[in-house]
């Protein structure tokens, strides 16, 4: 079996296309998950076809018979991907979200990590959470912390946003700028791939405590504290789960 330089170049180009598509799909799960199921199936099919095209000239059985190769090898290879996206995935999908708190972290102005230097002394609550999306398509959610005290007074803290409108310096902007260099932090809106989970440390600026009352003391007196997932555009409550430790 003699492979010409032109055929070898075609095989290498096809293999490269297949690898690029596979890497793109695996590294962009949120963007891919925003697309219709048929588009996702087509992207996977293109990767499979490119890989099989790269092997065509190395298969002596189908030499000079590309039509037979397509119908006998390529076409059957596309069926599993189509079945997965059009049948299996919809059958396993559900509705709604999941969530749990994994750890509790608190940054104060005495922690020597730059909080004092940027000019404020509010405690920064950065619990580690895990939120899951049970649906077929990618979702964006905003996270809030709701605290209800003994007098049934409810206080709602919004998680720090990734993009803060306006150009003026604010506590939220300062915290976002300080912590955004660390990949372990999550900022609103949180992006979750379909049937996937996003884990990280969300950031709450605790700015309305009574004088002389620490956040830890206030939480100790709280009757209830919950995390809320809300729709970014409308603010509609999508899911809530309890704060379990502080």
Per residue in 117-145, pLDDT tens?
344 567 788 899 999 999 999 999 999 99
Calculated CA dihedral for residues 17, 197, 176, 214, nearest 10 degrees: -170
CA distance 36 to 32: 9
Helix axes 37-55, 75-83, angle to 10 degrees: 150
Domain chopping of the chain, boundaries: 5-92, 97-242
Tokens matching residue 75: 């076409």
Q: Do you find a cis peptide bond into 88, omega within 30 degrees of 0?
A: no
Residue 65 to residue 83: CA distance in whole angstroms? 27
Instruction: Tokens 């059958």: give the residue.
Output: 91
Nearest to 204 by CA among 123, 150, 148: 123
pLDDT tens digit string along 73-112? 999 999 999 999 999 999 888 899 999 999 877 665 444 3
Cα–Cα dist 36/50, whole Å: 22
The reported pLDDT for the residue numbered 1 is 58
CATH of domain 97-242: 2.60.40
Which pLDDT score is estimated for 104? Answer: 77
Whole-number pLDDT of residue 208:
65
* Helix spans in the chain (H): 5-27, 29-33, 37-55, 66-69, 75-83, 89-92, 171-179, 215-221
d(CA 127, CA 147): 14
| pTM of the predicted protein model | 0.82
């Amino acid at each position: 079996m003699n492979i010409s330089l032109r055929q070898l170049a075609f095989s290498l180009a096809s293999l490269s296309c297949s690898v690029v598509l596979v890497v793109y799909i695996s590294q962009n799960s949120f963007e891919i998950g925003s697309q219709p199921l048929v588009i996702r199936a087509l992207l996977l099919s293109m990767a499979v076809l490119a890989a099989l095209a790269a092997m065509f000239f190395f298969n002596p059985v189908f030499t000079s018979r590309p039509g037979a190769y397509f119908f006998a090898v390529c076409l059957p290879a596309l069926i599993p991907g189509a079945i997965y996206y059009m049948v299996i995935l919809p059958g396993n999908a559900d509705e709604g979200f999941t969530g749990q708190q994994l750890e509790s972290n608190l940054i104060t102005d005495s922690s020597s990590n730059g909080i004092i230097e940027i000019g404020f002394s509010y405690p920064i609550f950065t619990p580690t959470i895990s939120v899951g999306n049970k649906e077929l398509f990618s979702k964006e959610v905003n996270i809030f912390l709701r605290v209800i005290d003994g007098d049934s007074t409810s206080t709602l803290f919004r998680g720090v946003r990734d993009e803060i409108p306006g150009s003026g310096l604010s506590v939220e902007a300062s915290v976002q700028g300080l912590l955004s260099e660390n990949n372990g932090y999550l900022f609103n809106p949180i992006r979750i791939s379909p049937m996937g989970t996003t884990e990280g440390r969300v950031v709450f600026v605790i700015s309305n405590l009574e004088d002389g009352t620490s956040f830890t003391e206030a939480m100790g007196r709280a009757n209830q504290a919950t995390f809320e997932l809300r729709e970014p555009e409308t603010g509609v409550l999508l899911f809530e789960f309890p704060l379990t430790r502080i």
